[in-house]
Chain A
Amino acid sequence: MAKVLINQERAGVTERNRSKIRTAPSWLEALTPQLRGYTEECLGQYMGEIEEIRLRIGRPVLYRLGQQELTFDRDKKLTDRLEQGYVISRQELDRNLEILSQSSLYAWEDEFRNGYLTIPGGHRVGLAGRGVLDKGIIKTLKDISGLNYRISREVRGCADEIMPFVVCGGHIFHTLLVSPPQCGKTTLLRDMIRQLSDGMTKRSFMGVNVGLVDERSEIAGMYQGEPQFQIGLRTDVLDACPKAQGMIMLIRSMSPRVIATDEIGKAEDVEALYQALQAGVTVLTTVHGSSLLELRERPFLRELVNSKFFERIAVLSRRKGAGTLEAVYDGKTLERMR
Chain B
Amino acid sequence: MYKLTGALCIIGGCGWAGLKVAGVYRRRAELLRCLQNGLSFLEAEISYGSTPLPLALRRVGEKLDKDSGALFTRAAQILCLNKGATASEAWEEGIKLLNGNIPLTAEELSILTMFGHGLGNSAREEQLKNIALVRQQLGMAEKKAAEARVKSEKMWQYLGFCLGGVIVLVFI
- Given A33-B83, A103-B87: A109 and B52 within 8 A (CB)? no
User: For the complex, is A1 an interface residue (Cβ under 8 Å from B)?
Assistant: no
* A-chain residues with CB within 8 Å of residue B122 when the two chains form the complex: 105-106
B88 to chain A, nearest CB (A): 8
User: For the complex, is B123 an interface residue (Cβ under 8 Å from A)?
Assistant: yes
B51 touches A102 (CB 8 A): no
Alpha-carbon gap, A126 to B53, bound state (A): 21
- Given A98-B121, A102-B79, A140-B123: A107 and B52 within 8 A (CB)? yes
* B-chain residues with CB within 8 Å of residue A224 when the two chains form the complex: 52
User: For the complex, is A241 an interface residue (Cβ under 8 Å from B)?
Assistant: no
User: For the complex, is A76 an interface residue (Cβ under 8 Å from B)?
Assistant: no
- Given A98-B86, A98-B87: A103 and B123 within 8 A (CB)? no
A107's partner among B50, B83, B90 (CB-CB below 8 A) is: B50
B50's partner among A31, A32, A106 (CB-CB below 8 A) is: A106
User: For the complex, is B119 an interface residue (Cβ under 8 Å from A)?
Assistant: yes
A105 touches B84 (CB 8 A): no
B44 to chain A, nearest CB (A): 13
Interface residues of A (CB under 8 A from B): 29, 31-33, 36, 94-95, 98-99, 101-107, 109, 140, 224
A104 touches B84 (CB 8 A): no
Q: How many of chain B's residues touch chain A, expressed as a range?
A: 20 to 34
A32's partner among B52, B84, B121 (CB-CB below 8 A) is: B84
B 76-116 to A, binary, CB cutoff 8 A, 1 in contact else 0: 00010011101100100000000000000000000000000
B119 to chain A, nearest CB (A): 7
* B-chain residues with CB within 8 Å of residue A33 when the two chains form the complex: 83-84
* A-chain residues with CB within 8 Å of residue B86 when the two chains form the complex: 95, 98-99, 103
User: For the complex, is B151 an interface residue (Cβ under 8 Å from A)?
Assistant: no
A109 touches B123 (CB 8 A): yes
A209 to chain B, nearest CB (A): 30
User: For the complex, is B127 an interface residue (Cβ under 8 Å from A)?
Assistant: yes
A103 touches B119 (CB 8 A): yes
B30 to chain A, nearest CB (A): 28
B52's partner among A31, A104, A140 (CB-CB below 8 A) is: A104
A106's partner among B54, B83, B90, B127 (CB-CB below 8 A) is: B127
A34 to chain B, nearest CB (A): 8
Name the residue among A106, A107, A109 with the largest chain B CB count within 10 angstroms.
A106
B8 to chain A, nearest CB (A): 54
B167 to chain A, nearest CB (A): 52
Alpha-carbon gap, A139 to B123, bound state (A): 11
* A-chain residues with CB within 8 Å of residue B84 when the two chains form the complex: 29, 31-33, 36, 95, 99
Name the residue among A36, A94, A98, A101 with the largest chain B CB count within 10 angstroms.
A98
Alpha-carbon gap, A102 to B50, bound state (A): 12
* B-chain residues with CB within 8 Å of residue A31 when the two chains form the complex: 84
* A-chain residues with CB within 8 Å of residue B82 when the two chains form the complex: 29
Alpha-carbon gap, A109 to B119, bound state (A): 16
Alpha-carbon gap, A224 to B84, bound state (A): 20
Closest to B52 in A: A104
- Given A33-B84, A99-B86: A105 and B79 within 8 A (CB)? no
Closest to B126 in A: A106
User: For the complex, is B154 an interface residue (Cβ under 8 Å from A)?
Assistant: no
User: For the complex, is B143 an interface residue (Cβ under 8 Å from A)?
Assistant: no
* A-chain residues with CB within 8 Å of residue B123 when the two chains form the complex: 105-106, 109, 140
Closest to A98 in B: B86
Name the residue among A101, A107, A224 with the largest chain B CB count within 10 angstroms.
A107
User: For the complex, is B165 an interface residue (Cβ under 8 Å from A)?
Assistant: no
A108 to chain B, nearest CB (A): 8
B 109-150 to A, binary, CB cutoff 8 A, 1 in contact else 0: 000000000011111101100000000000000000000000
* A-chain residues with CB within 8 Å of residue B163 when the two chains form the complex: none
Alpha-carbon gap, A101 to B123, bound state (A): 12
Alpha-carbon gap, A129 to B124, bound state (A): 18
Alpha-carbon gap, A182 to B122, bound state (A): 33
* A-chain residues with CB within 8 Å of residue B127 when the two chains form the complex: 106
